[in-house]
């Protein structure tokens, strides 16, 4: 049974979605409204923040007290490539960082439709290369993200493998948008319980990201269900049972396992899409984040956090 806090978070998401239903809103106004989702998360204690230029990519450090100085989480925010920013993701990213006792670099990749594919993954790769230039060893970097950021977290490792570069030590993909064909069954079956996503919103994201690029929805560079997933770092996949993408997330995790990867799959009962936005207020979310922290420390070969 889901908690009252989880149900309240779902209502919050639904109210935000209702505010966005006005067809007369322009993109700038919609972005401003969506950015307010950050108020759902509680400010974590003992975390400091600093903005930084990460190799030409705007980014934000989230540094928990007593965090390991030689390890980092490269965090990609949600928003379908169209909405939100590093500032919107600051608190959930900091909660994950605090749970893992690992500092997090939240990047502000370029957004579409102003900057279409592959601008976003290019920015992620630039930030990764910048971390290496700062002295971080690849095996001490985890690629992290949620929603489209969860896609980018995996796509970074695929791109690095394909160019023969050193891979990160782990991938944490939360509520990843895996299949741009929008053909998974849960897009229909969970339409009444997902208070964040709709098919129409996913179609908008897809159009803003790919229209005019010549990249098809089935291109393995954007569709994780078509990508070659061999020889990747350990992958943890977390998702909410109430989200539209639940079926494709499970399918992706099974494909990653079938490709021979060390894979861990975990569902959050009653969880919304990008449920980590409820960090610090929803017990199911906090339990999942605690689990993420333990998994990250194990895979990055750190001692258990106190």
pLDDT value of position 1: 83
pLDDT value of position 306: 46
Per-residue pLDDT for 279 more than 50? yes
Per-residue pLDDT for 215 more than 50? yes
Residue listed under structure tokens 């053909």? 183
CA distances from 288 to 119, 207, 282 (A): 31, 32, 10
What percent of the chain has pLDDT above 70?
A: 98
When pLDDT is cut at 50, 70 and 90, the band that residue 303 belongs to is low
Per-residue pLDDT for 188 more than 60? yes
Q: Where are the beta strands (DSSP E) in 43-202?
A: 47-53, 58-64, 68-76, 102-107, 141-146, 170-174
Per-residue pLDDT for 305 more than 60? no
Q: Which two tokens stand for residue 109?
A: 């990749």
pLDDT value of position 24: 93
When pLDDT is cut at 50, 70 and 90, the band that residue 86 belongs to is very high
- Coarse DSSP helix, strand, coil percentages of the chain, rounded to the nearest 5 percent: 40, 15, 40
Find, among 58, 209, 49, the residue nearest to 123 by Cα. 58
Per-residue pLDDT for 240 more than 50? yes
CATH class of 4-299: alpha beta
Q: Which two tokens stand for residue 204?
A: 């908008």
What's the CA gap between 207 and 266, in Å, rounded?
30
Q: What is the mean pLDDT of residues 73-82?
A: 98
Find, among 150, 78, 89, 62, the residue nearest to 111 by Cα. 78
Q: What is the mean pLDDT of residues 190-194?
A: 97
Per-residue pLDDT for 116 more than 80? yes
- 98-115: pLDDT as tens digits: 999 999 999 999 999 999
- 2-24: pLDDT as tens digits: 999 999 999 999 999 999 989 99
When pLDDT is cut at 50, 70 and 90, the band that residue 304 belongs to is low
What's the CA gap between 198 and 215, in Å, rounded?
23
Mean of the per-residue pLDDT values of the chain: 96
pLDDT value of position 273: 98
pLDDT value of position 247: 98
pLDDT value of position 173: 98
């Amino acid at each position: 049974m889901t908690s009252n806090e989880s149900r309240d978070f779902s209502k919050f998401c639904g109210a935000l979605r209702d505010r966005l239903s006005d067809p007369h809103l322009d993109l700038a106004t919609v972005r401003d409204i969506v950015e307010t989702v950050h108020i759902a998360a509680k400010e974590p204690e003992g975390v400091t923040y600093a903005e930084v230029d990460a190799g030409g990519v705007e980014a934000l450090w989230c540094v928990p007290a007593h965090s390991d100085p030689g390890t980092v989480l490269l965090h990609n925010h949600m928003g379908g490539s169209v909405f939100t920013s590093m500032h919107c993701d600051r608190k959930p990213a900091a909660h994950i960082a605090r749970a893992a006792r690992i500092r997090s670099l939240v990047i502000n990749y370029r957004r579409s439709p102003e900057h279409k594919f592959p601008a976003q993954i290019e920015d992620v790769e630039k930030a990764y290369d910048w971390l290496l230039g700062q002295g971080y060893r690849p095996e001490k970097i985890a690629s992290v993200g949620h929603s489209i950021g969860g896609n980018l977290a995996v796509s970074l490792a695929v791109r690095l493998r394909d160019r023969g570069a050193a891979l990160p030590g782990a991938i944490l993909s939360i509520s990843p948008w895996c299949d741009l064909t929008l053909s998974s069954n849960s897009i229909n079956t969970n339409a009444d319980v997902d208070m964040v996503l709709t098919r129409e919103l996913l179609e908008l994201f897809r159009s803003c990201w790919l229209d005019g690029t010549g990249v098809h929805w089935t291109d393995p560079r954007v569709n994780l269900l078509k990508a070659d997933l061999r020889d990747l770092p350990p992958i943890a996949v977390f998702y909410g049972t109430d989200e539209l993408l639940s079926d494709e997330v499970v399918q992706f995790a099974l494909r990653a396992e079938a490709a021979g990867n060390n894979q861990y799959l975990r569902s959050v009962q009653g969880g919304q899409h990008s449920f980590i936005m409820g960090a610090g207020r929803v017990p199911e979310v906090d339990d999942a984040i605690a689990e993420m922290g333990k998994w990250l420390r194990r895979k990055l070969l750190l001692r258990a956090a106190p």
